Amino acid sequence: MSEHYVDELESIVGSEFYEQSGVFEQSIVVPLRFMQYLAGVRISGIPRADRGFLFRRTDIENIRLYVDHARLLPTTLESVKRLYPPRAVGLEGLEPEQIVSFHQQVLTHTKAWTNLEHAVKVACDSMNQLAGDIPERFLQLVEDIDGIAEGQSADLQRNEGDLQLVALTDQQRSALEGIRLNRVHEQPDIRGFFNTTIFTQCRAFNNTLVNVLMPKVAALLEAYSHVNNLPVSASFETDLRAIDEQLNTRVTDYERLITETAPGMMPRFSLDASSGVFSRQAGIVRGEIHRLVVERGRLVFAHLPQDALGTILYVSQQRFFELRGRFMAAAVTCREMEQAWDPLKWYVLGVNEYLKQVSHLSDLTQLKINLVRLMKTWLRVKSLTEQVYNSFTTILERDDWTAG
């Protein structure tokens, strides 16, 4: 499939279909466009090298750096006391009990990632499976319609080929009702992989990071700064504060860009990526955040204290900064994907109602034409979900790392 192609989808989008068209046209365009962004086959989508599922490759890498760091943190009072340089002993706000409590909070936080990673992996598996099942379901429905329409050639000749004049027989209507109940009544389980707990877990993980752990380590480092004669220069602290101020501003900008919406409403997936996670501006700000985090890391690791206590605190803070914005982006992507695939659910519900009212061959033929169009689109969606699935599982199945 060409990376950037112009076809029926482009003409529909160009006609402002999103606000004006019915559920059928949306079920053709919206899921495919979302997957094009997610798979990185559109210029404004996720870069191919960074492709993942709700979390990108760089997200997973930074999360695992954090988890690996947390696993090495001492959590007993005796082991923590051995970290202290002599001048740090007895400082208010830097008691060993405070460090033990902080390390335990960090470990508890990383264990939440183990559960979240599993939930996201299951969601990605389910998405890939569903994307493959949908075209097969449509194909079966088309074949069923062909079977019902057989034997109408004589009626068509009598009515000079006018499908609108060929009424369905009672036997055909009975067969259609069977199809409706067996093929259509049970709609695709789209919510099967839009697990609402993923959204909740992402938000909870981010809230703990921002509102609990980052203030805690900042307070500990403030107390640590009163230790005399340690090789932490004033210029280092000044430079670090300057970067941190820039990072906090850009992370705030990023989260505002990806969640910006009407008051009381959830962000909506934007077909042209004019807003949301895939917007050009959000991508620019995300890149700036990455640049600042890398710059911060170089500064921190070039000026680490010689004692173990200071080293652990500064590295912990760096790992926290590396995660900023990533979980909020995953939560928003989860919600936007639910919105993007939702038109399919509503179209299937519409087909269910439509089959109750079909009375002529023309109605059945038009339904078949629509289903064939939709099937072709979902074959593309299937191809893209396979690409995303393969990329994401490759990241998760790295040989030298286990979730624990």
40: its two tokens: 């990185």
| Euclidean distance between the first and the last CA atom of the chain, given in angstroms as a whole number | 39
Cα(12)–Cα(382) distance, rounded to whole angstroms?
21
What is the model's pTM?
Answer: 0.84
pLDDT of amino acid 19: 47
User: Which residues share a beta bridge with 360?
Assistant: 167
Residue pair 62/43 in contact by the 8 Å Cβ criterion: no
pLDDT of the chain, 404 residues: tens digit per residue: 333 333 444 544 444 444 445 778 888 888 999 999 999 888 778 888 899 999 999 999 999 999 999 999 999 999 999 999 988 898 899 999 999 999 999 999 999 999 899 889 888 988 898 888 888 888 888 888 888 877 554 454 455 455 556 778 888 888 888 888 876 666 566 555 566 688 889 999 999 999 999 999 999 999 998 886 555 577 888 999 999 999 999 999 999 988 875 444 555 777 888 888 888 899 999 999 999 999 999 999 999 988 999 999 999 999 999 999 999 999 888 888 888 888 887 787 788 788 888 888 888 888 888 889 889 999 999 999 999 999 999 888 865 555 55
DSSP line for 238-276: HHHHHHHHHHHHHHHHHHHHHH--STT------TT-SSS
| DSSP, res 151 | T
Rounded CA separation 276/359 (Å): 44
pLDDT of residue 224: 92
Burial 248-270 (b: 16+ CB within 10 A, else e): eebbebbbebbbeeeeeeebebb
Apex CA 11: angle with CA 10 and CA 13, to 5°?
Answer: 65
What is the pLDDT at residue 275?
82
Q: Report the pLDDT value the prediction gives residue 263, as an integer from 0 to 100.
A: 46
pLDDT reported for residue 274: 82
CA separation (Å) from 211 to 239, 251, 279?
24, 14, 27
**pLDDT at residue 196, as a whole number:** 66
